[in-house]
């Protein structure tokens, strides 16, 4: 009987520890890199969301935040849509995978700065537009100042009847080091704007 008690006591001691159990140590979570996307990728994700707002929705402008990436992608895009039937406009923002929208604003179909376009005309993406812009002076701007941000603006040019990507080297259009226009349907170079 003494042997049984001794064995039970020994088993109990082996199973117990005087130290509290420590949680499993894990590596601290690395901050997730912001998600980036091309202009047409953001446009179509926001277009899908905007269709829930109005069935006749059409885009009239897309703009990225300035970025230092050199792949035609950005972490944030603002896409503006109009509902000609409702005479309302609304902007959608794609930011690192999340989509939000602004409140409604009035819309006038005759306003040349908000001319809607058929989304099927958007066949060239910002990665291609950036490559074209690089061939027309952008490479020299980046070589001279590698930290130059780049951003993209998409809009319908009613005078030329073309959907245009403006690839802008700088933080705003007015003080940009270079602006290059690229046809968003064909991908062809149109002109150096500055």
**Residue 31, pLDDT score:** 75
**Which residues, other chains included, contact 36 with Cβ-Cβ below 8 Å and sequence gap of 6+?**
67, 69, 71, 73, 74, 75
pLDDT in tens, 77-112: 999 999 999 999 999 999 999 999 999 999 998 898
Instruction: Work out the pLDDT band at 118, boundaries 50, 70, 90.
Output: very high
Q: Is 100 exposed, middle or buried (0-12, 13-18, 19+ CB in 10 A)?
A: exposed
Q: Report yes or no: 121 and 44 within 8 Å, Cβ to Cβ.
A: no
Evaluate if residue 3 carries a pLDDT over 70.
Answer: no
Evaluate if residue 24 carries a pLDDT over 70.
Answer: no
Evaluate if residue 6 carries a pLDDT over 50.
Answer: no
Which of residues 7 and 183 earns the better pLDDT score? 183
**Residue 25, pLDDT score:** 56
**Residue 5, pLDDT score:** 52
pLDDT in tens, 28-78: 667 777 899 999 999 999 999 999 999 999 999 999 999 999 999 999 999
What is the spatial distance between Cα 172 and Cα 184, in angstroms, rounded to a whole number? Answer: 20
**Residue 80, pLDDT score:** 98
pLDDT in tens, 120-136: 999 999 999 999 999 99
Q: What is the CA radius of gyration of the chain?
A: 27
**Residue 12, pLDDT score:** 52
The strand ranges marked E within 75-171 are 76-83, 88-95, 98-101, 105-106, 150-157, 162-169
If we measure between CA atoms, which residue out of 9, 79, 3 comes closest to residue 37? 79
Evaluate if residue 22 carries a pLDDT over 70.
Answer: no
If we measure between CA atoms, which residue out of 48, 50, 59, 40 comes closest to residue 152? 40
**Residue 10, pLDDT score:** 47
What is the spatial distance between Cα 19 and Cα 21, in angstroms, rounded to a whole number? Answer: 6
């Amino acid at each position: 009987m003494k042997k049984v008690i001794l064995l039970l006591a020994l088993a109990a001691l082996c199973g117990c520890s005087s130290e509290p159990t420590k949680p499993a140590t894990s590596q601290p979570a690395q901050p997730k890199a912001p998600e980036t996307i091309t202009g047409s990728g953001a446009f179509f994700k926001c277009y899908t969301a905007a269709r829930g707002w109005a069935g006749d929705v059409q885009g009239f402008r897309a703009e990225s935040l300035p970025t230092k990436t050199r792949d035609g992608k950005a972490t944030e895009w603002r896409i503006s849509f109009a509902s000609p039937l409702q005479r309302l406009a609304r902007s959608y923002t794609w930011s690192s995978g999340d989509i939000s929208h602004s409140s409604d604003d009035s819309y006038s179909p005759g306003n040349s700065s908000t001319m809607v376009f058929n989304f099927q005309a958007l066949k060239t993406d910002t990665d291609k537009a950036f490559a074209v812009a690089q061939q027309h002076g952008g490479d020299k701007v980046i070589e001279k100042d590698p930290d130059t941000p780049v951003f993209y603006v998409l809009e319908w040019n009613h005078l030329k009847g073309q959907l245009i990507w403006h690839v802008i080297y700088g933080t705003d259009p007015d003080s940009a080091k270079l602006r290059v226009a690229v046809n968003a349907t064909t991908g062809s170079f149109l002109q150096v704007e500055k």
